[in-house]
């Protein structure tokens, strides 16, 4: 049978380039998102180069706050979904807080909450409407691509990227400006709850990785896998059995 004693090492070696590629893709997409934000909030017309250069100066702070928001919201959804929806709305202005107010970290989350305090339902209905439009366009694009014409599906996906996403950002920016203009002195409040919520997913993930590693690296698992490979040898693309070593 195939030697799988070094299965874990092989998986790490093969998975490393994939991880690097995924990280590169995440950075590029986030950078482009910040560049879009900078182009919209700037009072002057910027070239593409200047837009991306300014975006890079804010990239680290924006990415960090986006990560924190994601962790906090994930914890909220784990707590029976409704807290996740509430936190998604409460923290929806954190990105603009970073780029415009120059406030980062957990303070950006607290300031977003301070802006939205008293206007949560109004913000929720407007953001929900935009999200619903994006979902409808995305589903329609998938349906057209699968059932009618891939070209039509591509057109709708481009529509989503080039039109709806910028409109979403512009509309959210206008909400942010309205909320900010209606506030006097902003009292940010405590960030302890956000810190706890951001920490919990990391703990859950670490525990899952640890116990998963213990299971997949155990001798019992390897022996069971070897027996299964003996019983059901892998097949090639023609469907015939591969010879075991």
Q: How many CB atoms lie within 10 A of CB 176?
A: 23
**108-135 per-position pLDDT tens digit:** 999 999 999 888 899 999 999 888 887 8
Separation of alpha carbons 70 and 72, rounded Å: 6
Q: Which two tokens stand for residue 100?
A: 């415009």
Separation of alpha carbons 111 and 173, rounded Å: 15
DSSP notation for 138-201: HHHHHHHHHHT-HHHHHHHHHHIIIIIHHHHHHHHHHHHHHHHHT-SS------HHHHHHHHHH
Question: Which pLDDT belongs to residue 245?
Answer: 43
Closest CA to 113 of 39, 47, 191: 191
The model's confidence at residue 242, banded by pLDDT at 50, 70 and 90, is very low
Question: Which pLDDT belongs to residue 203?
Answer: 84
Burial of 113 (0-12, 13-18, 19+ CB in 10 A): buried
Separation of alpha carbons 42 and 51, rounded Å: 9
Q: Tokens 């942010």 sit at which residue?
A: 176
pLDDT over 50 (residue 1): no
Q: How many CB atoms lie within 10 A of CB 200?
A: 16
């Amino acid at each position: 049978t195939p030697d799988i004693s070094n299965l874990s090492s092989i998986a790490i070696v093969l998975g490393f380039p994939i991880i690097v590629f995924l990280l590169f893709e995440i950075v590029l997409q986030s950078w482009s998102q910040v560049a879009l934000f900078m182009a919209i909030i700037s009072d002057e017309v910027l070239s593409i180069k200047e837009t991306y250069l300014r975006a890079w100066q804010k990239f680290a702070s924006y990415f960090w706050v986006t990560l924190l928001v994601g962790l906090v919201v994930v914890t909220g959804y784990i707590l029976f979904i409704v807290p996740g929806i509430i936190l998604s709305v409460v923290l929806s202005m954190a990105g603009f807080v970073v780029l415009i107010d120059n406030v980062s970290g957990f303070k950006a989350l607290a300031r977003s909450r301070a802006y939205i305090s008293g206007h949560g339902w109004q913000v929720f209905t407007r953001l929900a409407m935009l999200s619903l439009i994006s979902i409808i366009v995305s589903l329609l694009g998938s349906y057209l691509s699968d059932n009618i014409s891939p070209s039509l599906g591509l057109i709708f996906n481009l529509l989503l990227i080039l039109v709806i996403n910028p409109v979403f950002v512009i509309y959210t920016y206008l909400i942010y400006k309205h909320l900010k203009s209606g506030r006097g002195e902003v009292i940010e409040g405590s960030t302890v709850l956000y810190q706890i919520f951001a920490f919990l997913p990391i703990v859950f993930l670490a525990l899952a990785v640890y116990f998963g590693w213990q299971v997949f690296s155990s001798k019992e698992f390897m022996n069971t896998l070897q027996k299964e490979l003996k019983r059901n040898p892998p097949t090639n693309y023609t469907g015939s059995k591969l010879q075991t070593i």
